Amino acid sequence: MGIPHYISCRVHNFFLHEDTRAVCFSSMVKMVTVYAACALLCFAPLLVVSDPPVLTQPEQVHLSYPGVPGSMVVTWTTFNRTDSLVEYSPWGDILFHKSAKGSVTPFVDSGNEKRKMFIHRVTLSDLKPGSHYVYHCGSDMGWSDMFWFRPIDETIIQPAFALYGDLGNENPQSLARLQKETQLGILDAILHIGDFAYDMHEDNARVGDEFMRQIQSIAAYVPYMTCPGNHESAYNFSNYRNRFSMPGRTESLWYSWNIGPIHIISLSTEVYFYLEFGQELLFRQYDWLKQDLEVKNRAARPWIITMGHRPMYCSDDDQDDCTTFDSFVGRNDTTPAAPGLEDLFYLHGVDVELWAHEHTYERLWPVYGDKVFNGSVAEPYTNPKAPVHIITGSAGCKEKTDRFNPNPKDWSAFRSTDYGYTHMQVVNHTHLYLGQVSDDQAGKTIDSIWIIKDKHGYDAWF
């Protein structure tokens, strides 16, 4: 058998006479045409039945801690239905040799376009604390970039956090600094205390998509723990409830989790305001809070820290919150009257209460019942006789910052209208650090305190 004509032509083509080259070329064209036709016939059925990868690219990737040691939830969005897979591996191992499958939930925004998206959730388990993991998420229809994270270690001794509220996708002043801190690996978790995007439902939820894309730069690397704010209220908080994946079965409205010596409780202050979405939510949350606070192992986790969007105390000059309408901790126009949170938290010895909503930073002296209960004149935060409140809602959004009332009450200790966010680190069972980072002042810490407690719980107040 001789060499096939087209191959011999290909080998010798360069040396052949012009007429001979023309014959060879014609022969090759025929051969290629025959092969192409065969290939088309062979693969035609596959081309017809397989879905083209349209709108299947994962985006808006973010992490959350489900409250189970050694676990992490990866959440992301596609705009067409796909499988929900995470491929991952410990840093330094063969890449992606582990995989986990999750579930996908369709979410239809309630705006007039009724835009549909698919929210994917995959829980990774058996993660080793102290290791770093690399991962990507998606499916064979499209994979995300590769990210990394460090699993939450519930036994970590000195957990460190960034916390803030009121971050929008326009004017997100704090985002660049948070991105850098995330990449430096100095944060164990980020706490976003309500009010996202401004607002997630706007432009038929495209603003929500854009915001979630923006925070992927931090939220794909550290657990991004949230609570709802008033800016999430549209369509009964549906964008918030569908896009986040907090622990428990409350669609991220209220939950608690542990990290090191801290028990963190996240709650919805909005159940006191939006009664049209169910007055019973207010009472359900209160009952849950009571139960959660009563069963704590205070010896192992002495620090109890709450986070909720609208503060109990504040001194912004908006003639509304904290002034004319102070029912956020218990309104009396429901039947029965809504129970308040201040007494509940005081009776269970909550150490620190984190709030946002006001687009400023305000640190309070230890306060209860509108009265100051400092530890001592010289050291107000050493063995304080009431919870310490921090309001940190100046991360940056299109509504800019707020003004302060020029005549704050006695409990107001420090105020700033700079954009920024708060650092928090628990050092041991007795010492907790809080510091306010100013974006206006190039990352300078403009306020800091140490809360020092020899005792925790209700008895610590006396």
| Count of chain residues binding Fe ion (CB under 5 A) | 4
Nearer to Fe ion, 230 or 448 (CB): 230
Q: Least distance to Fe ion from the beta carbon of 50, Å?
A: 47
Alpha carbon distance 246, 73 (integer Å)? 9
Instruction: Let me know the angle formed at the C-alpha of 240 by 235 and 270, rounded to the nearest 5 degrees.
Output: 75
CB 265 within 8 A of CB 304: yes
**Residue 168 structure tokens:** 């929008």
Q: Rule CB under 5 A: is residue 270 a binding residue for Fe ion? A: no
439 binds Fe ion (CB under 5 A): no
Report the nearest approach of Fe ion to the CB of residue 229 (Å).
Answer: 4
**Near Fe ion in 186-205, by CB under 5 A:** 195
Nearer to Fe ion, 195 or 342 (CB): 195
What is the Cβ-side half-sphere exposure of residue 419, based on CA atoms within 13 angstroms? 20
Does the footprint of Fe ion cover residue 230 (CB under 5 A)?
yes
**Residues linked to residue 437 through DSSP beta bridges, in sequence order:** 421, 445
Reported as type and span, the H/E element at residue 424 is strand 420-426
Kindly report the number of other CB atoms within 10 A of residue 441's CB atom.
Answer: 13
**Interaction pattern, residues 28-47, with Fe ion; x per rule: CB under 5 A:** --------------------
Stretch that binds Fe ion, among 118-126, 201-209, 250-258, 355-363 (CB under 5 A): 355-363
| Distances from the Cα of 294 to the Cα of 117, 265, 326, 335, 385, angstroms | 40, 13, 26, 25, 20
Rounded Cα distance between 356 and 445, Å, is: 18
Q: Cα separations (Å) of 426 from 211, 302, 451?
A: 30, 11, 9
For the CB of residue 231, give the shortest distance to Fe ion in the complex, in Å: 6
- Report phi then psi at 360, rounded to 5: -150, 180
Q: CB of residue 240 vs Fe ion: minimum separation in angstroms?
A: 12
Any contact of residue 67 with Fe ion (CB under 5 A)?
no
Angle at 191 between CA 185 and CA 196, to 5 degrees: 115
Count the Cβ atoms, other than its own, within 10 Å of residue 234: 18
Given the rule CB under 5 A, which of 169-177, 222-230, 255-263, 324-332 is the region that contacts Fe ion?
Answer: 222-230
* Closest to 80 measured CA to CA, from 120, 50, 109, 121: 120
Distance of CA 119 to the CA centre of its chain: 15
Of the pair 195, 209, the CB lying nearest Fe ion is at: 195
Q: How far is the CB of 243 from Fe ion (least distance, A)?
A: 17
Question: 323, 359, 368, 332: which is closest to 458 by C-alpha?
Answer: 368
Q: Which is nearer to Fe ion, 195 or 439 (CB)?
A: 195
- β-bridge pairing 189-193 and 224-227: parallel
Q: 458 is written with which tokens?
A: 């209700």
Question: Which range of residues in 59-67, 252-260, 266-274, 353-361 is near Fe ion by CB under 5 A?
Answer: 353-361
- Which residue has its beta carbon closest to Fe ion? 357
**Pick 375 or 393: Cβ nearer Fe ion:** 393
Task: Give the binding range for Fe ion (CB under 5 A) out of 57-65, 88-96, 224-232, 291-299.
Answer: 224-232
| Interaction of residue 229 with Fe ion, rule CB under 5 A | yes
Whether 79 and 118 have beta carbons less than 8 Å apart is answered as yes
CB of 104 to Fe ion, least distance (A): 31
Binding mask 282-311 for Fe ion (x = CB under 5 A): ------------------------------
* CB nearer to Fe ion: pick between 229 and 302: 229
- Under a CB-based contact definition with an 8 Å cutoff, are residues 193 and 227 in contact? yes
Instruction: Determine the interface stretch with Fe ion among 68-76, 100-108, 350-358, 399-407 (rule: CB under 5 A).
Output: 350-358
Smallest gap from Cβ 357 to Fe ion, in A, equals 4
For Fe ion, the closer CB: 179 or 230 = 230
Question: Shortest Cβ distance from residue 273 to Fe ion (Å)?
Answer: 10
Task: Compute the least distance from the CB of residue 310 to Fe ion, in Å.
Answer: 7
Binding of Fe ion by 357 (CB under 5 A): yes
Binding residues for Fe ion, rule: CB under 5 A, are 195, 229-230, 357
